[in-house]
Amino acid sequence: MRLNDLKPAPGAKHRRKRIGCGESSGRGKTAGKGNKGQKARSGASIRPGFEGGQMPLNRRLPKKGFSNAKFRTEYAVVNLSSLEAKFEDGATIDEAALRAAGLVQGGAWDGVKVLAMGDLTKKFTVQVDKVSAAAQEKIEKAGGSVTDKQAAA
88 and 143 part of one domain: yes
Please give the model's pTM, rounded to 2 decimal places.
0.57
In a domain, 99, yes or no: yes
Residue pair 84/76 in contact by the 8 Å Cβ criterion: no
In a domain, 20, yes or no: yes
Strand partners of residue 153: none
97 and 35 part of one domain: no
95 and 31 part of one domain: no
Q: What is the pLDDT of residue 16?
A: 87
82 and 135 part of one domain: yes
In a domain, 96, yes or no: yes
In a domain, 62, yes or no: no
Phi, psi of 149 (to 5 degrees): -60, -35
Residue ranges in the chain modelled with pLDDT below 70? 150-153
Contacts by 34-41 with C-beta closer than 8 Å and gap 24+?
none
Work out how many domains the chain is built from and give that number.
2
Q: Which residue range is the domain that position 31 belongs to?
A: 16-44
79 and 148 part of one domain: yes
Q: Are strands 111-115 and 75-79 parallel, antiparallel or unpaired?
A: parallel
Q: What is the pLDDT of residue 151?
A: 55
84 and 140 part of one domain: yes
79 and 143 part of one domain: yes
User: CA-based Rg of the chain, rounded to a whole angstrom?
Assistant: 31
